[in-house]
Amino acid sequence: MKLLRYGPAGAEKPGLLDDDGQVRDLSGHVKDIAGDVLTPAGLDKLRAIDPASLPVVKGKPQDGLRLGACVGEVRKFIAIGLNYADHAAESGMDVPSEPVVFNKWTSCIVGPDDDIQIPRESKKTDWEIELGVVIGAPASDVSEAEAMKHVAGYCVVNDVSEREWQIERTGTWDKGKGFDTFGPIGPWMVTADEIPNPENLAMWLEVDGKRYQDGSTKTMVFGVAALVSYCSRIMTLLPGDVITTGTPPGVGLGQKPPVFLRGGETIRLGIEGLGEQTQKVLPAK
């Protein structure tokens, strides 16, 4: 299944994408694509519904019909840093011996095609195409062997980052990662049964038509099971939590000389089987 949320910002309704590319309204069955709806039992209930029995939503998704973040009421937005060896190299950092874990504030979450707002006085706003992992069953101290049973599905994430706040100022990376609009998620969550190998997916990102990132999840240092298990050891993962798993090389920071967003650009990005995003970048106010 491809589950999504559609409609105006703050008033999104739950839906699914059918085989013909139409959005079908799920609001007669669930309140949102969130929480217990994403548990194994919740997803089984949705699978039992014939999509043809659901109302068709007018409009073409991502072309007149706005999509919100594919998961609602996200309680934890967990990010993994330096999880591609070649990205660590372009950042001038060592490949970590354990996952680098930091937060993206949930208030940064927006729809897949919503505008990105450069923060006031930002000098180094950057992009990162990433695979997002959506938690289904609660997970606390689970083994790698059991970890995939706790995954509801996958989605595209743009881990927008302000490098000066992230790296050059004192404290943790969190400060540069959670500005408003810095977390486009979607366009939809594809359930795990449709992505048998999340560690072999092509991924790409373009700015104004120039391809900067062209990689694959197969070069991740720590795979999905390892990340879910590791994170579950330091926190209880809950249904609807999102883990964004790191980026391949090609970020603006790694260009020679570095390239950063100033406003006016268009970003397009996508992951094999998970859809695409398109964002306009707004200059700092």
Give residue-wise pLDDT tens across range 47-83: 999 999 999 999 999 999 999 999 999 999 999 999 9
**pLDDT class for 269, splitting at 50, 70, 90?**
very high
Mean pLDDT, rounded, of the chain: 96
Burial 107-130 (b: 16+ CB within 10 A, else e): ebbbbbbbebbbbeebebbbbbbb
**pLDDT class for 151, splitting at 50, 70, 90?**
very high
pLDDT of 86 reads 77
Going by C-beta distance under 8 Å and a sequence separation of 6 or more, which residues neighbour residue 41?
A: none
Note whether residue 146 is domain-resident.
Answer: yes
pLDDT of 204 reads 98
pLDDT of 171 reads 82
Note whether residue 176 is domain-resident.
Answer: yes
pLDDT of 90 reads 77
Phi-psi region of 99 (alpha: psi -120 to 50; beta: other; left: phi over 0): beta
Note whether residue 5 is domain-resident.
Answer: no
User: How far is residue 198 from each of residues 41, 49, 251, measured CA to CA in Å?
Assistant: 22, 26, 22
Token pair of 266, please? 């268009």
The CATH number of whichever domain residue 95 belongs to comes to: 3.90.850.10
Q: Which residues pair with 277 in a beta bridge?
A: 269
pLDDT of 88 reads 74
Note whether residue 231 is domain-resident.
Answer: yes
Note whether residue 12 is domain-resident.
Answer: no
Tell me what the mean pLDDT of segment 179-207 comes to.
98
The count of domains in the chain is: 1
Nearest-angstrom CA–CA distance, 187 and 179:
20
Tell me what the mean pLDDT of segment 247-264 comes to.
96
Note whether residue 239 is domain-resident.
Answer: yes
Reply yes or no on whether the pLDDT at 94 is more than 90: no
pTM: predicted TM-score of the whole model, two decimal places: 0.96
Tell me what the mean pLDDT of segment 245-249 comes to.
96
Reply yes or no on whether the pLDDT at 126 is more than 80: yes
Note whether residue 19 is domain-resident.
Answer: no
Nearest-angstrom CA–CA distance, 248 and 216:
7
Reply yes or no on whether the pLDDT at 45 is more than 80: yes
Note whether residue 272 is domain-resident.
Answer: yes
Could you identify the residue written with the tokens 């989605």?
Answer: 155
pLDDT of 282 reads 98
Tell me the residue range of the domain where 130 lies: 68-282
Going by C-beta distance under 8 Å and a sequence separation of 6 or more, which residues neighbour residue 266?
A: 207, 208, 209, 278, 279, 280, 281
Tell me what the mean pLDDT of segment 103-130 comes to.
97
Nearest-angstrom CA–CA distance, 24 and 41:
21
